[in-house]
Amino acid sequence: MDPLTPLSPLQPLAPLTGSPRSGGQEDGSGPAFADLLKQAMQEVNDAQAHAEGEARNLMVGDGTDMHSAILAVQKADVSFQMMMAVRSKLIDAYREVMRMQM
């Protein structure tokens, strides 16, 4: 990868196909929220695995240049931080709902 080549922008999550499970959307207008979370977590996991592979290749000298390894690690770090921020917001929202009086 040429260091002067611009990075491709992050792609939005692709819509999932299939029938919604119980607890999902009843009207079938889109994927279930749980499926979206699972897909996002899988993408974070894939980014972490890719970064680990790039770092390992860099350490053993398997032709990976330092720039691509650093970019992979940074991308994995940013995606993990984003996942943790979303998790924190979900927990805050859950606690707020639990505090509501009926």
In this predicted model, what pLDDT tens digit does every residue of 45-90 receive, in sequence order?
999 999 999 999 989 988 778 899 999 999 999 999 999 999 999 9
**pTM score, whole prediction:** 0.64
**3-state class of 5 per DSSP?**
coil
Question: How far apart are alpha carbons 85 and 44 in whole angstroms?
Answer: 13
Pick from 44, 39, 37: nearest CA to 23:
37
Burial classification of residue 32, based on how many CB atoms lie within 10 Å of its CB (0-12 exposed, 13-18 middle, 19 or more buried) = middle
Q: Read off the pLDDT of residues 10-20 as tens digits, 9 standing for 90 and up.
A: 677 666 565 54
Residue 5: C-alpha distances to residues 1, 53, 67 (Å) = 7, 22, 11
Pick from 94, 48, 95, 50: nearest CA to 68:
50
